[in-house]
Amino acid sequence: MTAPTQTRQMAYIAGQASDARVNVELETEGMTLNIGPQHPATHGTLRIIVRLDGERVISAEPVMGYMHRGYEKLTEVRTYPQVTTLINRIDWLGSFANEVPFILAAERLMEIEAPPRAQWIRTALFELSRIANVVLFLGDMGVQLGAITPVFYAFRDREFVLNQIEAVTGGRFHPNFDRIGGLKDDLPKGWVDETRGALGRIRSFCDEMENLVSGNEIFQARTRSIGVIPADMGLAYGLSGANIRASGVDWDLRRDGGVGLVHDQLDWKVWTHPDGDSFARYWVRLQEVREACGMVEQILDGIPSGPVMAKVPRIFKVPAGEAYVETENPLGIMGYYVVSKGDLVPYRVKIRSASFNNVSITPWVLRGVYVPDVISILASLYFILGDIDR
Partner 1 sequence: MNTVVTAVELAYWQQTAIRSVAALVAVLIPAGTLVYLYLFKMMSFMQSRLGPMEAGPYGSLQLLAEVGKFLQKEDLIPRAADRVVFKAAPFVVLVSTFLLVLVLPAGPDLWFINVDTGVFLALAVSSISVIGILMAGWGSASKYSLLGGLRAAGQLVAYELPLVLAVIGVVIQAGTLNMQEIVLAQANGEIFGWGAIGNPFVITQFLGFAIFLVAVQAELTQPPFDMPVAESEIVAGYLTEYSGMRFLLFFIAEFATAGIFAALAATLFLGGWYVPGLDPASDLFNLIGPLVLLTKIVLVSFLIFWFRFTYPRFREDQLQQLAWKVLIPLALANIVVTGVLKVVF
Give the footprint of partner 1 on this chain (CB under 8 A).
31, 33, 39-41, 55, 142-149, 152-153, 156, 212-213, 216, 218-219, 221-222, 370-375, 379
Name every residue whose Cβ is closer than 8 Å to that of residue 359 and which is 6 or more positions away in sequence.
46, 62, 64, 381, 383, 388
CB contact at 8 A, 296 and 195: yes
Least Å from the CB of residue 63 to partner 1: 17
Residues paired with residue 60 on neighbouring β-strands, in sequence order: 50
Pick 86 or 374: Cβ nearer partner 1: 374
Least Å from the CB of residue 102 to partner 1: 34
Least Å from the CB of residue 22 to partner 1: 16
CB contact at 8 A, 308 and 183: yes
Pick 90 or 143: Cβ nearer partner 1: 143
Residues paired with residue 35 on neighbouring β-strands, in sequence order: 48
Least Å from the CB of residue 135 to partner 1: 15
End-to-end CA distance of the chain: 33
Write out the DSSP string of 205-240: HHHHHIIIIIT-HHHHHHHTTSS---HHHHHHTT--
345 burial (CB, 10 Å; 0-12 / 13-18 / 19+) is middle
Pick 38 or 265: Cβ nearer partner 1: 38
Rounded distance between C-alpha atoms, residue 89 and residue 105, angstroms: 18
Secondary structure class of 97 (helix, strand, coil): helix
**Residue 89: Cβ within 10 Å count:** 16
Least Å from the CB of residue 229 to partner 1: 19
Pick 373 or 389: Cβ nearer partner 1: 373
Least Å from the CB of residue 228 to partner 1: 16
Least Å from the CB of residue 164 to partner 1: 20
Counting every residue, how long is the chain? 390
Pick 213 or 295: Cβ nearer partner 1: 213
Pick 246 or 374: Cβ nearer partner 1: 374
Least Å from the CB of residue 159 to partner 1: 11
- Is the bond into 307 cis (omega within 30 degrees of 0)? no
Least Å from the CB of residue 375 to partner 1: 5
Pick 147 or 310: Cβ nearer partner 1: 147
Pick 153 or 382: Cβ nearer partner 1: 153
CB contact at 8 A, 178 and 100: yes
Rounded distance between C-alpha atoms, residue 171 and residue 88, angstroms: 11
State the pairing for strand pair 56-63/47-53.
antiparallel
Pick 96 or 153: Cβ nearer partner 1: 153
Residues paired with residue 69 on neighbouring β-strands, in sequence order: none
